[in-house]
Amino acid sequence: MPRTAKDKPAESSAHKGKSKAAAERTRKHIPQACDVCRARHIRCDGTKPLCEQCRQSTRMHECTWLKGTVRKPRTEAHFEALRKQVDSLQAYCRALEERVAICSCRTKSESDSLSRPLASFDEEDEENDFGDQQADGAWEGARGEDVEEEELDDIAQELCIPAQDLKLGERELESHGITAPFRFLADSIDNPPAPPKSSQLSEKNAISHAADTYVFTLDGSNEFDPTFQWARYLPKEVPLSRQEHDRILDLLFKFFTMWCMRVVPSLFLRDMHRHLSVPGSSPPPKTTHYSPMLHNALIALASGFSDDPRIRDLRARQYFADAAKRCIEAECMKPNISVVHALSILASFHSTQGDQMLGYLYFGMSARISQALGLCMDAQPWVKAGRITAADMQDRGWAYWTTFTQDVCWSLYVGREFSLPAPSETVPVPFVDTASDQIAWSYSNSGLDPQANYLSSTFSATCDLLLIARKIMKIVNRLAKVSGRRDLINDHMISEIDVKIHAWKSRLKPEVEINASNRDFATPHKLMLHCMYWWSFILLHRPFFHRKAKPMHGSDPEVDHVKLCKRAAENLMDLVQSYRSLYSLRYVPMTMIQVVFSAGTVYLLLAARSLSGARIGHTTLTASLAQTDLCIDYLHEIAKSWSCATAIANILHGLKADRIGLLLRRRGMDITQQPLDEPAPAVPAAAAEAMDFNIFSALDSGTNYDSEMWNLLGMVGGETLSAVPFVPFDMGYQDVESPALRDDEAGARDMNMDMDALWKELWP
């Protein structure tokens, strides 16, 4: 029936009504609703300070925005990790059901032992770590029963079952267990507070203004006392001016010690002023953040950032390191928190020079002092008793987590067990100090405006992330120990850690997040945090790079380790490039060296994988080798400050020249039998500038492939690993210093065996 003119207005009106309803249904999603709309579960338009819903319902006075933003939406990678975890848990349950069915006729004890092949990973099977805490709880329960039943007097109780492990020494709380006789020499929490000692009186008399602090003489600043003895404990053999001293310390605080918050600059400068304001003939005051050993250790490390070749020379730096070492016995006899940091900084000094064994030794000493001070124990009862201050307890917690994060980094670096036990709930992750986070951070050479440092926020997030990295290290160390359904167990453990990493990322606060809008002005410690995030994926998935993905549910494959490693390496290279463009790679912490090296190993594996198929993946091979060369260049740039990076670059270059070259020689023999169906794509200009890959575009059906493949060897370097200068470094994986294969030996080996050899060198 044809429409009439009268029908048109009605149809138009209905169409408008439908359009309005559709527009309301497709209203734009808002990131946050007001408190009223959220409580009533109604749609809010997000208008601040008064939304439209509250305006229409006469709730204008109730429309507030006090609650934080809603949880950030999970990324697709996070959803994928959750799906993989569900798949692995379902497979794990089926395996357990099969084992229970097999064991149904056995005794209960046998069934129990077989039905738990793998504990929940949160427990970590750390009997050694948590055994002492469980024993303490058992002793406390036994002590309570004994007191009720036998009414032991105080001396019997202290001799048999001590109520506390912390005792107050001359300068700091100390830890002594039940078997130690020294616990009777230290001051107990139950004793009345002792009168101030001479050093404390000297501190009060010498320091009239607690706000006094050492001022850096930067950018022509003249707000300093020229008579101040800033170099009292520094060696006289090195011609170090105050301006150069302040400049290199400032660089160290901004680019090295900020990672894992190893030094709080404002507190170090405050305590430095307090310590050096007292005449040298008087007893020094107690300063938690400064000591002569810490000062010399920091200068020994910071002088690597100096532009003066006399100061940067290793012999000059060694003077400061030796001066710090001469203080070890005196300061360790009566230790405080500054000793823990001083020994850790000395460890970093040796590590940056390539002496990782000496560095590992000094960090072990630092970890031992932290245990002697009982930094992992709860000090709240001592604060309540008035024996120490709340600031002292905060310093202890900060020192513990700094040492813990360094322990994880050292364990990943040298591939050994941890020096500290797993953290307990008695020392919570450091709280975020909002006031200190707002202190301006700036670096004039970057051209960036001053910005809030968010150092404590970044450190808190770093602690949470390195707790996960510790679990990754345990997975890697347990690979060779797991028997039975190894692949199944690994899938379960890997998927669980994947979910934890993604959950950590989703909980990040906006001030420590990095995205496209703030990457160009991110602070160094924030960039390092996100480098650690992506590095965690490489640490977790690289050991399984060689595993082929098998279908689990139709077309849904299991965890794609290759894809995850590649994505992590690409994001790492973007972050390193951002760091380089903003601050240069001369000013980086040690962890950056291993981050770059790990990305390089992923690209080596991708290059090897491109050679393992029936045809050569020219595009992947070209890009992977170009990225490997870029990693080597980055390491050489870092080596301008830290010479150990040269050795790591040589390792990466040796692996590329020796192993990838070997695979190319193997393909050179096979490729003459099976020509390519189509020529390789053109090479990107950026890659062509880095390496001569024009040979790829020259390959066609009429090319002599045997000679062309031998020309490819120039692409990876003609030197073998044995011809490259090499300093042995234990990178936490199997020894990469394997002798180069002779041509006659290589000819007798299968291509897959060569691939396996490379993989075994790059995964634990």
- Contact 472/732 with Cβ under 8 angstroms? no
Per-residue confidence at 345, pLDDT binned at 50, 70, 90? very high
Residue 32 gets the label, from left (phi > 0), alpha (psi -120 to 50) or beta, of beta
Tokens of residue 162, six digits: 């001590």
Q: Residue 61 sits in a domain of what CATH number? A: 4.10.240.10
Q: Is residue 163, in this structure, part of any structural domain at all?
A: no
Report the pLDDT value the prediction gives residue 617, as an integer from 0 to 100. 84
Is 165 inside any structural domain? no
pLDDT at 133: 44
Stated as kind and residue range, the H or E segment containing 132 is helix 127-150
Q: What is the pLDDT of residue 112?
A: 45
DSSP string covering 181-245: GGGGTSBPTTSPPPPP-HHHHHHHHH-S-TT-------TT---S-TT--TTTTS-TTS---HHHH
The arithmetic mean of pLDDT across residues 645-668, rounded, is 88
pLDDT of residue 185: 53
Q: Cβ distance 490 to 121 under 8 Å?
A: no
d(CA 81, CA 75): 10
Residue 191 has a pLDDT of 53
Residue 468 lies in a domain: yes
Q: Are residues 588 and 574 in the same domain?
A: no
Q: CB of 217 within 8 A of CB of 272? A: no
Euclidean distance between CA atoms 497 and 148, whole angstroms? 46
Note whether 403 and 439 are same-domain residues: no
Where is pLDDT greater, at 286 or 155? Answer: 286
> For residue 722, which of 632, 658, 643, 665 has the smallest C-alpha distance?
658
Q: Which of the listed residues 525, 554, 579 is the one where a domain comes to its end?
A: 579
Residue 597's pLDDT band (cuts 50, 70, 90): very high
Pair 550, 618 in one domain: no
Query: Pairing state of beta strands 551-553 and 173-175?
Result: unpaired
At 574, is the pLDDT very low, low, confident or very high (cuts 50, 70, 90)? very high
Mean pLDDT along residues 284-302: 95
Query: What is the spatial distance between Cα 78 and Cα 498, in angstroms, rounded to a whole number?
Result: 8
Provide the angle, in degrees to the nearest 10, between the axes of the packed helices 356-372 and 337-352.
170
H or E, element range at 441: strand 440-441
Domain identity same for 384 and 468: no
Distance between CA atoms of residues 436 and 702, nearest Å: 69
Residues 408 and 462 in one domain: no
Q: What is the C-alpha separation between 716 and 698, in angstroms, rounded?
A: 18
552 and 603 belong to one structural domain: no
Which residue is listed with tokens 């060779």?
Answer: 480
Under the banding of pLDDT at 50, 70 and 90, the label for residue 38 is confident
Residue 114 falls inside a structural domain: no
CA distance 657 to 646: 16
How far apart (Å, rounded) are the C-alpha atoms in residues 582 and 597? 21
On whether residue 3 sits in a domain, the answer given is no
**Is 383 among the domain residues?**
yes
DSSP letters, 275-340, are: HHHS-TTSPPPP-TT--HHHHHHHHHHHGGG-S-HHHHSHHHHHHHHHHHHTTHHHHHHS--HHHH
**What is residue 552's three-state secondary structure?**
strand
Residue 434 has what pLDDT? 87
What is the chain's alpha carbon radius of gyration, rounded to the nearest angstrom? 31
Residue 121, in any domain of the structure: no
**Last residue of one domain, picked from the residues 579, 596, 616:** 579
561-583 and 524-541 helices, crossing angle to 10°: 160
Shared-domain flag, residues 303 and 341: yes
Q: Verify that 252 and 303 share a domain, yes or no.
A: yes
What range defines the domain where residue 711 resides?
A: 584-764
pLDDT at 340 over 60: yes
- The SS3 of residue 56 is helix
In angstroms, rounded to a whole number, what is the distance separating the alpha carbons of residues 584 and 686? Answer: 20
Same domain? 629 vs 733? yes
Q: Token pair of 140, please?
A: 């406390």
Of the residues 386, 407, 428, the one at which a domain ends: 428
Q: Which of 101-105, 209-213, 744-748 shows the lowest mean pLDDT across its residues?
A: 744-748
Residue 286 above 70 pLDDT? yes
Separation CA 57–CA 67 (nearest Å) = 21
Domain shared by 744 and 615, yes or no: yes
Angle, CA 573 vertex, CA 570 and CA 577 arms, to 5°: 145
Residue with tokens 């793998």: 118
Q: Are the C-beta atoms of 496 and 85 separated by less than 8 Å?
A: yes
pLDDT attached to residue 27? 54
Distance, CA of 589 to CA of 630 (rounded, Å)? 19
pLDDT interval class at 271 (50, 70, 90): very high
Distances (CA, A) of 668 to 617, 623, 674, 710: 14, 20, 11, 6
Total count of domains within the chain: 4
The pLDDT tens digits of the residues spanning 129-171 come to: 434 444 444 444 444 444 444 444 555 444 444 445 655 655 5
Examine the domain organization and report whether 348 and 270 are in the same domain: yes
What average pLDDT does this structure show over 649-673?
76
pLDDT tens digits for range 698-728? 333 333 333 334 344 444 544 433 333 333 3
pLDDT at 740: 38
Is 744 within a domain? yes
The per-residue pLDDT for 101 is 73
Residue type at 345?
I
Hey, what are 738's tokens?
């394997």
Lowest mean pLDDT among 86-95, 252-261, 375-384, 586-595: 86-95
Do residues 510 and 595 share a domain? no
